[in-house]
Structure 1
């Protein structure tokens, strides 16, 4: 084979190889392993979420139940007793809602007449939200709020009995209220189960008209309460940061003593390690116009639940301010509300345009690991009667009783000076004055009143 023929064959082979390699390169499809996108957002929760259909029943609870007899009023704030009553009422078929205008005398008969049950909530509750708890005919539930549920236990020989939903503003002077009907047999069965127990076990209450528009009920005699101490378990601040911030990668941290501040383009979170509280702000969500109360409650309950923030089961709905789009949930211990000047006992939320714009809360839970609450009991203490508390307020300078909006027994929460992991709970009288809850120093004032007798 001569040289020229060899070159021709070699060139042909090289061209064929080139064509093959080019074709292979064009048609080659490599096998890549699937790699998770590390930048994709991961939904972080602080604790376990609650089932959505249980949110309202676990957070919106009455905190006082009264039974009006002909000559006296009996009542309780025992949550277990109230839960039993509400569970029974929750089986009723409540129907035929209507709006009625009551004059002052009719309103008094409805709310304070003989053989009536009065169930009192901390603040107004939207009927549409509470329809998830009571067996209400959703097609007829009005857009209205109430803070008292009145049940007429008198059997008037009819097939049904009346229940009344009274808003906070309804008291003396007449008001427009909503009424509905309940099967009389259900009411009679309820009365037979509870009335004897109510009469024998409940405490007697006194009625006091704070103003022409507000009547409250206070224990008639001195009552004994228990002081408690509980350990605390801290939630993870890192979990709150990852759950709340929109952009978790561009967060800057600055520290000043026991206060840490986390800042991103969209959000700001301040953590106070002295009191174990945090405050989260989403400025672009701020809204001026008021939202309906039903939306405020639904949105705030869901917002906390979305990141598993109901870590302590002892928080309950406590107040709502539609003008400020603000809802507050308060810690309860032994059926009584807890108060703390540093915000350690409440979850406060302000709703903005499409979500919560301000969110403040503690980031600890109380350790109720002991099945016996008495194991955490420290001491017993008798608090003054309702009439004594009224006398103390009347005797206090710079207090206008017309500006007192409510009076309750609650717990004062303080950090234990000997062990920062412990919190002390001291029973005390509190009064709501111009929107703020203030502790009444009953020991000093009772000594003064006794000295004047």
Structure 2
């Protein structure tokens, strides 16, 4: 056999081998439909609403203390306007002494009462890490230590004085003093002080036990509401919470609507108007400080469109890596009712390994306000103290604070909820109790 014959045979063999492998390659590929089904599909947020930190981490009460009188307001605009302006200020910490100082109990009470100068007080529902304040505000100097504050005080400066801002912990009486060298800051604070007679007069109660409770001198008139609700589809939560919703399977039974991708699980409890998302593979193997926990939780809600109503920061538990936000109407928090339970009013998250571990929230959102000019009359602080003194179920010494909160009531099979204001008592152990017999019951639309 000559060389040309050998080349022809080898070429034929190589072509045959190539055709064999090509045929196997084509036949081993899945059909086009199967490729489509296994492709990665990105999650889709419930809505496009995003919140800045200061829109979620914000005070819910404002007081003004002078040597002669205490004042307060239930008007959200007063609180929100000041809080928004404070985001524009430039803050600096004193470097001439220890940044973190501590009041004695007596000095703190005298200091609040404005014995040396008038002060504006902003209160938060729970302690906010100072690092979170640093993230929201503009700072020239930073505080290294991790500490949480639940109150901010602004002095009412005299002419040409710098504006001072005090971050205070009501539990430990620790505080940090900052200054704002800005004419606009002085002007805004002075305006609030000069208009103090337009605010509600308050009186101090229980200060001897280091409890600064301020109650209104007169009865309080505050609106109640009736809202229609809209149930968010389970598929919307599925598409928002799973990284690849295409791989999620659905299981429907009489108790719940369940979605799973083999390890994560989403449960829609329709009768409770509640959503529960669980990632059981995560364990507490990492630990986030409070400031990082807040930032991560807000980002998580922004990413999947979780701000379906107006929610504000309510509580944080660094030990358990838990954080809670509560629904609010005009900056007043809303609690779910025990006797007429419609659904939860809180968003709670538990974190592990920098990923969400447990996420619980309402499956509904408030829609159109169906009522108008419904005004409730709540008793004055003096009447309230009389009610408490006759209530054997509450020990006055156990009360940390007293404030107005809304309560959401509704039947589980209806889409209309009533939102009514009541007086509530926050106890030292963290429980919040509605004070029985505190409502005057007038819904006639008094102005």
TM-score normalised over the length of structure 2: 0.82
Q: CA RMSD in A?
A: 3.6
TM-superposed deviation, 1:63:
0.4
> 1-side partners of 2:52 and 2:143: how far apart?
22
> 1-side partners of 2:208 and 2:193: how far apart?
31
Corresponding residue of 1:390:
385
- Mark the CA change 1:192 to 1:408 in structure 2 (over 3 Å): closer, same or farther: closer
After superposing the two structures, state which structure 1 stretch, 222-231 or 240-249, moved more.
240-249
> 1-side partners of 2:201 and 2:239: how far apart?
50
Q: State which of 420, 427, 435 in structure 2 corresponds to 1:426.
A: 420
Where do residues 64-79 of structure 1 align in structure 2 (5 Å cutoff)?
64-79=61-76
TM-superposed deviation, 1:72:
0.8
> 1-side partners of 2:320 and 2:143: how far apart?
29
Corresponding residue of 1:4:
none
> 2-side partners of 1:228 and 1:445: how far apart?
16
Where do residues 278-317 of structure 1 align in structure 2 (5 Å cutoff)?
278-287=275-284, 291-312=288-309, 314-317=310-313
3-state SS, counterpart of residue 131 of structure 1: helix
| Contact in 2 for aligned 1:431/1:440 (Cα 8 Å) | yes
1:151-170 deviation per Cα after TM superposition (whole angstroms, max 9, x unaligned): 11132765x34221001314
Corresponding residue of 2:445:
none
Corresponding residue of 1:353:
353
Corresponding residue of 1:125:
128
Corresponding residue of 1:111:
112
> 2-side partners of 1:253 and 1:28: how far apart?
42
Structure 1 residue ranges without an equivalent (≥5): 1-10, 447-453
> 2-side partners of 1:263 and 1:21: how far apart?
49
> 2-side partners of 1:143 and 1:442: how far apart?
42
Corresponding residue of 2:171:
169
> 1-side partners of 2:10 and 2:252: how far apart?
67
2:43 paired with 1:44? yes
3-state SS, counterpart of residue 367 of structure 1: strand
TM-superposed deviation, 1:229:
0.9
> 1-side partners of 2:411 and 2:189: how far apart?
45
Where do residues 199-214 of structure 1 align in structure 2 (5 Å cutoff)?
199-209=196-206, 212-214=209-211
3-state SS, counterpart of residue 398 of structure 1: coil
After superposing the two structures, state which structure 1 stretch, 419-428 or 113-122, moved more.
419-428
Corresponding residue of 2:335:
339
2:236 paired with 1:233? no
> 2-side partners of 1:222 and 1:437: how far apart?
22
After superposing the two structures, state which structure 1 stretch, 230-239 or 60-69, moved more.
230-239
TM-superposed deviation, 1:442:
2.0
Corresponding residue of 1:404:
399
- Mark the CA change 1:285 to 1:183 in structure 2 (over 3 Å): closer, same or farther: same
3-state SS, counterpart of residue 284 of structure 2: coil
- Mark the CA change 1:247 to 1:16 in structure 2 (over 3 Å): closer, same or farther: closer
TM-superposed deviation, 1:226:
1.9
| Contact in 2 for aligned 1:246/1:267 (Cα 8 Å) | no
2:65 paired with 1:85? no
3-state SS, counterpart of residue 95 of structure 1: strand
> 1-side partners of 2:74 and 2:138: how far apart?
23
TM-superposed deviation, 1:210:
7.0
Corresponding residue of 2:55:
58
Q: State which of 393, 404, 409 in structure 2 corresponds to 1:414.
A: 409
Instruction: Compare CA radii of gyration and give the structure with the larger one.
Output: 1
| Contact in 2 for aligned 1:285/1:354 (Cα 8 Å) | no
3-state SS, counterpart of residue 285 of structure 1: coil
3-state SS, counterpart of residue 284 of structure 1: coil
- Mark the CA change 1:27 to 1:67 in structure 2 (over 3 Å): closer, same or farther: same
- Mark the CA change 1:356 to 1:212 in structure 2 (over 3 Å): closer, same or farther: farther
| Contact in 1 for aligned 2:64/2:121 (Cα 8 Å) | yes
2:357 paired with 1:363? no
TM-superposed deviation, 1:111:
2.8
> 2-side partners of 1:360 and 1:337: how far apart?
18
Where do residues 260-271 of structure 1 align in structure 2 (5 Å cutoff)?
260-262=257-259, 265-271=262-268
- Mark the CA change 1:328 to 1:261 in structure 2 (over 3 Å): closer, same or farther: same
3-state SS, counterpart of residue 442 of structure 1: coil
| Contact in 1 for aligned 2:45/2:303 (Cα 8 Å) | no
TM-superposed deviation, 1:245:
4.2
> 2-side partners of 1:138 and 1:27: how far apart?
68
Q: State which of 261, 272, 293 in structure 2 corresponds to 1:275.
A: 272
Q: State which of 216, 219, 223 in structure 1 corresponds to 2:220.
A: 223
| Contact in 2 for aligned 1:262/1:269 (Cα 8 Å) | yes
3-state SS, counterpart of residue 180 of structure 1: strand
> 2-side partners of 1:383 and 1:428: how far apart?
7
> 2-side partners of 1:149 and 1:293: how far apart?
18
| Contact in 2 for aligned 1:339/1:412 (Cα 8 Å) | yes
- Mark the CA change 1:139 to 1:268 in structure 2 (over 3 Å): closer, same or farther: same
> 1-side partners of 2:148 and 2:406: how far apart?
28
TM-superposed deviation, 1:263:
5.1
> 2-side partners of 1:179 and 1:329: how far apart?
28
TM-score normalised over the length of structure 1: 0.81
After superposing the two structures, state which structure 1 stretch, 56-65 or 332-341, moved more.
332-341
